[in-house]
Amino acid sequence: DAGVTQSPTHLIKTRGQQVTLRCSPKSGHDTVSWYQQALGQGPQFIFQYYEEEERQRGNFPDRFSGHQFPNYSSELNVNALLLGDSALYLCASSIWTGGTYEQYFGPGTRLTVT
């Protein structure tokens, strides 16, 4: 059973460019969340998708947008990249079981903005 997968593994972009990161959830999971982990920090919640809709959003600007497809996979898009967007971007998938969620994380995409 494949876990959460993310692509690409690493990415280098220039300020002002746009980037798309991809995530495939664990089999059977219908909810995808995205997190940003800056160096030396804990992951920060960006947003969560369920049934192709953004269900909850953290304190991130509109430059960060996402999408969920019918097969539950998801994309994270960041426009007008800033140096401060350099971070590890984590995708987590989950499903509602027993009254709560348990989130499983992928390996992340390391984004470097120069």
Partner 1 sequence: AQSVSQHNHHVILSEAASLELGCNYSYGGTVNLFWYVQYPGQHLQLLLKYFSGDPLVKGIKGFEAEFIKSKFSFNLRKPSVQWSDTAEYFCAVTIYTGTASKLTFGTGTRLQVTL
Residue with Cβ nearer partner 1 (11 or 101): 101
Residue found by looking up tokens 């390996």 in the block: 107
Record the tokens describing residue 89, joined without a space.
């971007």
Query: Which H or E run contains 111?
Result: strand 109-113
> Residues 41 to 100: which contact partner 1 by CB under 8 A?
41-45, 48, 50, 55-56, 58, 90, 92, 94, 96, 98-100
Report if residue 33 touches partner 1, rule: CB under 8 A.
yes
Judged by DSSP in three states, 94 sits in strand
Inter-residue contact 76 to 89 (CB < 8 Å): yes
| Interacting residue ranges for partner 1, rule: CB under 8 A | 33, 35, 40-45, 48, 50, 55-56, 58, 90, 92, 94, 96, 98-108
